A and B are shown apart, each in its own frame.
Chain A
Amino acid sequence: MQTKCLTIAAALLTATSLGASAEALRWARAGDSLTLDPHAQNEGPTSALAHQIMEPLVMRDMTGAIVPALATEWGPSESDPNVWVFKLREGVSFHDGAEFDSEDAVFSFNRAMTPDSDYKELLASVKEVRAPGKYEFEIVTDGPNPIMPSNLTNLFIIDKGWAEANNAVKVQDYEGGEDTYAAKNANGTGPYKLVSREPDTKTVLTINEEYWGKGEFPMEVTEIVYTPIQNAATRVAALLSGEVDFIQDVPVQDLSRVAASDGLDVRTAPQNRVIFFGMNVGDDDLATDNVDGKNPFADIRVRQAFNIAINRDAIMKVVMREQSQPAGVIMPPFVNGWNAGLDQVPDHDTDAAKALMTEAGYGDGFSIRLNCPNDRYINDEAICQAAVGMLAQIGVTVTLEALPKAQHFPLINKLETDFYMLGWGVPTYDSEYIFNFLVHSRDEKYGSWNGTRFGNSGLDSKIEALASETDLPKRNSMIAEIWQVVQDEQIYVPIHHQVLNWGMRSDIQTIVAPDDTAKFKYFSFN
């Protein structure tokens, strides 16, 4: 029946060639995309929305495999090992009709390498990008970079002419609170076109009839209505009542309720994302604690005490209702460099933690502020509240400040928090991505999400060397060495790996992508 309706609708659609909705999909998740500027914020929901409208050269499909998007073929240059050559797709046009060619790719890459861009870490090894032909594009790196294509899966291409005409050549300064044309409008080559957008309220997309991949992908969703619903109960009520068709974050307490509902399914998969706390280990004094003249986090014993004071097992059992996997390292198991030894969960031991605190001279504890998002990760605020209780048991008084992610993330980027929660997904499936953003000291090119003020120049040069190390066994041993330092220094307190729970109408056909990015061109109905 449904198929028949669809066929008729599709026939009507072709007959009238109107953009009217044949099968609209109403999509909800806890938070909205932060900005439409594709290079301003490297954040999951932001690139998830961008993926519907814009495209990178290469992308990951729903299984996580790298597949062609705006590039059809790619490989290292035969003449020069420092060059990656991409053959671009011909006959592709942007939503406003402008033609896509190598000029746009060069423009977008250069844009993504500017200091305001949040993707500069991914391109840190790039010396130059060039366009030898209309559909040829080359990336010149500082030494050979074997994993370059996996760095590009969220690096969206925008139209040069459009950006120049709309004063959008410069990347939006998101942390500085800047608002630009590109933050509210989008002109991509993607399968869906932006119809309207009210941030935090509603975004409407409609199918791009001119899309190059029509016929190649199911593309059965013809209209997408995206509404962020922060409140977990409201979100699940919207799914149960049929007000939305697909929610990306079913609250863990409601999984069985949704699964038991007629016409609704929950689909589960481990997510490529780890949740952890970061601490300011580098400053001489902290603004948000009550210790004068010194920084308690600078003492490794305090960091170790925090690490074993957190009862990950209790968080998994009670807060997450077993929908998580306790972690010992800030790296999801999908990532190159991961091993079970690194991810061994430290034993929860309040007494040992107290002893460490006393040894460090904080036997009477201290007070500190913890910054948390409340609309980003699964049960983020509840995890932080639980941590407040666990840290209180070792004498640390934690004041919790839970804010929406749009206010929380700038605190990390602008170094205005000393103790914070962050989650990290790894689109490249390689440790280098984690090091570049979270471990390398903060400078023009690296470390934009490293809120710990940790910096170690020896380690920095090791991290930078990873990009051009072609000998994979050697590269892997370098990765292992860097992880050893990260673990020994205990600059982060890992909590757990998230498990994805997508709730949707039973007739929707999709697999659950480990990066939590729904790419609707792959969705179909039955």
Chain B
Amino acid sequence: MTSVRTAPDRFNPMALRIRAMWQSDLAWAFRHSPVAMVSFVVVVLLVSGALLAPLVAPHDPFDPATLNLMNGFTAPGTPNAFTGESFWLGTDDQGRDVFSTILFGMRISLLVGFAAVLLGMVIGVTLGLIAGYRGGWTETIIMRVADVQLTFPAILVAMLIFGIAKGFTPVEYRDQIAIWVLILAIGLSDWVQFARVVRGATLVETKKEYVQAAQLIGRSGTAIMIRHILPNVLSPVLVIATISLALAIIAEATLSFLGVGAPPTQPSLGTLIRIGQGFLFSGEWWILFFPACTLLALALSVNLLGDWLRDALNPKLR
């Protein structure tokens, strides 16, 4: 990190810490980037909407008992012809309120996104560190596996993993674990990026004096990797993680759109778009339009934040 580290004040640590953060280079860069600020606001709005969905949403679309089929296909803002009920963003084919469904669907998209990136990050960073530090055969094997995986499009790898996992799961558990399988599938298709970057950074760090000093005083390889090298290779990881988050959300939406992701009774944004796509010709545009806009806003702002973070952390661009 390039931020200026102040010694923790014994008397008022909190205030000092906040002040230090506010004065850090990163915060300065943030305050001077309108794109980053707008993206940040959008992300915060969407994420808090998703987190607070049970409080904010007019009803719980995942509870089938609360649905009234007669409310199906209500246009935004106009009362339903049979029931007279009105919905802000309309309803889908099953009478689910589109606004509530988007909020709840976003929870699944975000959960899958975050968890998949975390999984990919843990695997990728670990393998990257080992490859970069150990070198030799270990490195060759890990990096060739990574290269092979890179030659397949990530979505294909994810579909393959999804298919295999589904095949091994007893039918009665499929729905419950569909989300976890999605996380596994996207996470496993995603580790290569992390591994390559971390390996490169580790190669550089391993030659530095502090690592040699640690080796000389006899610290174990594992300890050196975790305690000494890892903190120094984390900033590129952070950048990749942010960009991967946007990609993972899109990957989840793509898988669900193709019908292999989240089950229709627990729709994520991708499932909603898949459902809505069937009603494009017949004029019920809102079922597709609003979830698609939400997905666009979410993925775009996370991506813009990632871009900004990459520039802010890159000393050459300053």
Contacts and interface: CB of A to CB of B under 8 A. Distances in A.
Contact of B65 (A237, A253, A389): A389
Interface in A368-403: 369, 381-382, 385-386, 388-393, 395, 398-402
B69 A315 contact: yes
Interface in B141-190: 171-172, 174-175
A167 B67 CA distance: 54
B2 interface: no
B137 interface: no
Contacts of A237: 281
A401 B64 CA distance: 15
Contacts of A388: 64, 265
A318 B265 contact: no
A385 B92 CA distance: 12
A233 interface: yes
Nearest to B80: A318
Given A253-B282, A369-B172, A317 B82 contact: yes
A389 B171 contact: no
A393 B65 contact: yes
Q: Is the interface of A mostly helix, strand, loop or mixed?
A: helix
Given A251-B278, A317-B82, A400-B264, A392 B172 contact: no
A474 B67 CA distance: 48
B87 interface: no
Contacts, number: 80
B279 interface: yes
B64 A399 contact: no
B93 interface: yes
Given A318-B93, A390-B69, A385 B281 contact: no
B72 A318 contact: yes
B299 to A, nearest CB: 23
B70 interface: yes
Contacts of B265: 385, 388, 399-400
Contacts of A257: 281-282
Contacts of A399: 172, 175, 265
A311 B280 CA distance: 26
B94 interface: yes
B277 A233 contact: yes
A314 interface: yes
A288 B73 contact: no
Given A319-B72, A369-B172, A401-B174, A389 B67 contact: yes
B209 interface: no
Interface residues of A, number: 36
Q: Is the interface of B mostly helix, strand, loop or mixed?
A: loop
Contacts of B281: 233, 236-237, 240, 253-254, 257
B9 interface: no
Contact of A400 (B63, B73, B263): B263
A400 B73 CA distance: 22
Interface in B264-278: 264-265, 277-278
Contacts of B252: none
A73 B94 CA distance: 53
Interface in A8-59: none
A386 B68 CA distance: 9
Contacts of A318: 69-70, 72-73, 93, 95
B284 interface: yes
Interface string B273-317: 000011111101000000000000000000000000000000000
Contacts of A311: 69
B279 A253 contact: yes
A232 interface: yes
A503 B282 CA distance: 15
Contact of B94 (A254, A288, A369, A385): A385
Interface in A248-285: 251, 253-254, 256-257
A382 B264 CA distance: 10
Interface string A226-245: 00000111001100100000
A432 B267 CA distance: 43
Nearest to A385: B94
A386 B69 contact: yes
Given A318-B95, A369-B171, A401-B171, A389 B69 contact: yes
B65 A386 contact: no
A388 B93 CA distance: 14
B69 A314 contact: yes
A390 B95 CA distance: 12
Interface in A399-439: 399-402
Contacts of B95: 318, 389
A240 B263 CA distance: 30
Given A233-B280, A382-B93, A386-B94, A319 B69 contact: yes
A317 B70 contact: yes
B70 A314 contact: yes
Given A254-B281, A288-B172, A318-B95, A402 B70 contact: no
B181 to A, nearest CB: 15
A232 B282 contact: no
Contacts of A395: 65
Nearest to B282: A253
Contacts of B263: 400
A241 B93 CA distance: 25
A231 B65 CA distance: 28
A385 B62 CA distance: 12
B74 to A, nearest CB: 10
What 8 pairs between A and B have smallest CB-CB spacing? A253-B282, A392-B65, A392-B64, A318-B72, A389-B64, A389-B67, A314-B69, A233-B278
28 contacts: A231-B277, A233-B277, A233-B279, A233-B280, A236-B281, A237-B281, A251-B282, A253-B282, A256-B282, A257-B281, A311-B69, A314-B70, A317-B82, A319-B72, A369-B171, A382-B93, A385-B265, A386-B94, A388-B265, A389-B65, A390-B69, A392-B63, A399-B172, A399-B175, A399-B265, A400-B175, A400-B264, A401-B175
Interface of B: 63-65, 67-70, 72-73, 82, 93-95, 171-172, 174-175, 263-265, 277-282, 284
Given A240-B281, A386-B69, 4 more contacts: A232-B278, A251-B278, A318-B73, A401-B174
